[in-house]
């Protein structure tokens, strides 16, 4: 048997999506996989009879979300696979002492990380849709700057979402947009608010980190745009960033290498100049799922583990 509480694993296994969590197309749930069936614990009001019949045909049986503990208490003299880092103590403490707990990574984590050919094709289409939205966005930005309009970081956030929303497959942004001008761009995961934001008033750099949830894929892009005239130091540093991006994008590496090790290839052009950044380089991206998806991670700051091995078909941001 297996107990799963990680929402992206459940969404992938059931081929369902929801909107219970901002930016992530998942639904609040638990999944208990038994030898002869799988029990899906959700808010049953959200599933109509037609969906329930389809799930039954696939071996899934619906239960109310709050029935999970009652069902776990019924287990006895069996093995139960769980992933400890994605499980609550409340559920584990409800188990009978005869249940042998096996602690391993959820098998679905590896399976959903490796995209199949159809998923890859859909993701490429989603990237095209996202690219079209970005072209419209940058056309607007260039025209607004040329017309000397007063633009804020909040405007950048709103406009990026506005142009993405014009796509027929768009569902939502994939995370809260990071739009930071000059010193604000130096803060990892900076978020402009109505109480605290900057205007694009002078020369400098605008960081845009944003993405979209589309029915055919999830996107996550980062762009740095010069506003006005870039100085020599900025041109120098971002030339190194470009070299770093080219280095990892063109790298040929051994099969099954631990992905954190590849980060040295990325950073080598910067390290050569005694420059570094205190942030990861990349991460896995879900298929119309969480924008941050494991198990792979492109960062030398992460431990080298068996689960971080690079596999053909993995989608990883850079």
Domain extents in the chain: 2-113, 116-230, 231-318
Contact 170, 213 (CB under 8 A): yes
Element (H, E) at 170: strand 170-173
Q: Top-level CATH class of 231-318?
A: alpha beta
Give the number of other CB atoms < 10 A from CB of residue 29: 24
Q: What is the pLDDT of residue 142?
A: 96
- Average pLDDT on 239-250 reads 96
Q: What is the pLDDT of residue 8?
A: 98
Q: What is the pLDDT of residue 188?
A: 86
Place of tokens 């583990």: 305
CA 284 – CA 10 distance, rounded (Å): 17
The reply to whether domains 116-230 and 231-318 share a CATH topology is yes
**Helix axis angle, 232-249 to 259-271, nearest 10°:** 150
Q: Where are the beta strands (DSSP E) in the chain?
A: 2-4, 30-33, 38-42, 60-64, 79-82, 100-103, 170-173, 178-181, 204-210, 212-214, 217-218, 221-227, 282-284, 293-298
pLDDT in tens, 156-194: 999 999 999 999 999 999 999 999 999 999 988 899 999
pLDDT in tens, 108-164: 999 999 999 999 999 999 999 999 999 999 999 999 999 999 999 999 999 999 999
- Average pLDDT on 83-104 reads 96
Q: What is the pLDDT of residue 80?
A: 98
Q: Which fold has domain 2-113?
A: Creatine Amidinohydrolase; Chain A, domain 1 (3.40.350)
Considering the domain 116-230, what is its CATH architecture? Alpha-Beta Complex (3.90)
186 three-class SS: helix
pTM equals 0.93
CA 159 – CA 147 distance, rounded (Å): 17
pLDDT in tens, 69-80: 999 999 999 999
Lowest-pLDDT range of 113-117, 154-158, 270-274, 276-280: 276-280
Handedness of CA 187, 191, 196, 197 (dihedral sign): positive
Cβ-based neighbours of 96, under 8 Å, separated by 6 or more: 73, 75, 76
């Amino acid at each position: 048997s297996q107990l799963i509480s990680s929402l992206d694993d459940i969404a992938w296994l059931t081929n369902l999506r929801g909107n219970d969590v901002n930016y992530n197309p998942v639904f609040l749930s638990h999944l208990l996989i038994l030898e002869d069936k799988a029990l899906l614990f959700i808010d049953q009001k959200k599933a109509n009879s037609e969906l329930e019949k389809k799930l039954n045909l696939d071996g899934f049986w619906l239960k109310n979300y709050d029935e999970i503990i009652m069902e776990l208490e019924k287990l006895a003299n069996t093995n139960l696979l769980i992933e400890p880092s994605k499980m609550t103590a409340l559920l584990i403490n409800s188990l009978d002492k005869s249940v042998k707990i096996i602690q391993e990574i959820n098998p679905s984590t590896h399976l959903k990380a490796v995209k199949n050919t159809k998923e890859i094709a859909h993701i490429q289409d989603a990237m095209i849709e996202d690219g079209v939205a970005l072209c419209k966005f940058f056309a607007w930005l260039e025209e607004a700057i040329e017309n000397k309009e007063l633009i804020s970081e909040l405007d950048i956030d709103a406009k990026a979402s506005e142009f993405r929303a014009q796509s027929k497959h768009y569902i939502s942004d994939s995370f809260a947009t990071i739009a930071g001008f000059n010193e604000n761009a130096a803060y990892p995961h900076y978020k402009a608010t109505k109480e605290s934001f900057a205007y694009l008033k002078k020369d400098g750099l605008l960081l845009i980190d944003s993405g979209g949830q589309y029915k055919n894929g999830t996107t996550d892009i980062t762009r740095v745009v010069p506003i006005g005239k870039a100085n020599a130091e900025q041109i120098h540093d971002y030339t190194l960033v470009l070299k770093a991006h080219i280095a990892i994008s063109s790298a040929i590496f051994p099969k099954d290498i631990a992905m954190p090790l590849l980060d040295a290839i990325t950073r080598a052009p910067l390290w050569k100049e005694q420059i570094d950044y205190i942030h990861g380089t990349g991460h896995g991206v879900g298929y119309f799922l969480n924008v941050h998806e494991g198990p792979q991670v492109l960062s030398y700051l992460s431990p080298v583990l068996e689960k971080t091995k690079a596999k053909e078909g993995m989608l990883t941001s850079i």
